[in-house]
C-alpha cells in the first residue's frame, strides 16, 4: 500500500520540481541542436492543453509558459501525487545568429518543437572583389568565400 502523507518526501519532491536533478531535470526538460540552417528545440510538456501554451520573443530571449491543470478533485483523498501541475516557465537566451522573427512552433503528442532559422546575415556567403589591373587598365573581378 502507498503511504498517504510523508512531509519529507513532499519537500524532496518540491525541491526536485523546482531545481531538478541530473536524473530528472526541472518541469520543462529540453533537447536542442542545429539541423542544417535552423536551430531546433524540443520541450516535453505532456498533458498541457495547446491553449495553455504561450511563447514569446523579446530581443533575443525566448520565453515559454505552460499551464498543466490537476485533474484530481479537491475533495478526493489523494494516495499519490507525483505529477507536477501548475504554471511552468522557461527562458532561452538565443544568439544573434538566429532569426527570432521567423520562429516556428509545433505541439504534437506532448512535445513542443521550436524551429528557429539561422539568420541570413550569419550564413557564409561569397563576396566579389574588384581590382584594377594597371597594365591593361581593365578591372578584373574575383570571387572569394567569406
Query: What's the pLDDT band for 13 if we cut at 50, 70, 90?
Result: low
Q: Is residue 74 part of a domain?
A: yes
Strand boundaries in 37-125, DSSP class E: 38-44, 53-58, 61-68, 86-93, 104-108, 111-117
Whole-prediction pTM = 0.67
* Domain boundaries, position 34: 28-122
Q: Are 142 and 129 in contact (CB under 8 A)?
A: yes
The count of domains in the chain is 1
Bigger pLDDT: 140 vs 82: 82
| pLDDT value for 34 | 92
Q: What is the CATH number of the domain that holds 56?
A: 2.60.40.790
Query: What's the pLDDT band for 3 if we cut at 50, 70, 90?
Result: very low
Return the SS3 of 101. helix
| CA contacts within 13 A on the Cβ side of 39 | 19
- Other Cβ atoms closer than 10 A to 71: 9
Residue 82 has pLDDT above 60, yes or no: yes
| pLDDT value for 24 | 44
User: Among residues 113, 105, 104, 106, which one has the least CA distance to residue 44?
Assistant: 113
Residue 96 has pLDDT above 60, yes or no: yes
| pLDDT value for 135 | 57
Q: Is residue 78 part of a domain?
A: yes
Bigger pLDDT: 140 vs 66: 66
Residue 5 has pLDDT above 60, yes or no: no
Q: Is residue 6 part of a domain?
A: no
| pLDDT value for 12 | 61
Amino acid at each position: 500500500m502507498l503511504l498517504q502523507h510523508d512531509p519529507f518526501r513532499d519537500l524532496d519532491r518540491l525541491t526536485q520540481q523546482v531545481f531538478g536533478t541530473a536524473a530528472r531535470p526541472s518541469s520543462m526538460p529540453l533537447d536542442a541542436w542545429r539541423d542544417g540552417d535552423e536551430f531546433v528545440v524540443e520541450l516535453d510538456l505532456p498533458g498541457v492543453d495547446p491553449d495553455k501554451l504561450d511563447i514569446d520573443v523579446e530581443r533575443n530571449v525566448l520565453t515559454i509558459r505552460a499551464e498543466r491543470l490537476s485533474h484530481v478533485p479537491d475533495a478526493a483523498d489523494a494516495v499519490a501525487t507525483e505529477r507536477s501541475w501548475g504554471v511552468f516557465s522557461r527562458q532561452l537566451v538565443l544568439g544573434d545568429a538566429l532569426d527570432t522573427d521567423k520562429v516556428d512552433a509545433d505541439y504534437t503528442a506532448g512535445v513542443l518543437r521550436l524551429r528557429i532559422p539561422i539568420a541570413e546575415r550569419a550564413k557564409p556567403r561569397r563576396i566579389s572583389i574588384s581590382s584594377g589591373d594597371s597594365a591593361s587598365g581593365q578591372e578584373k573581378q574575383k570571387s572569394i568565400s567569406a
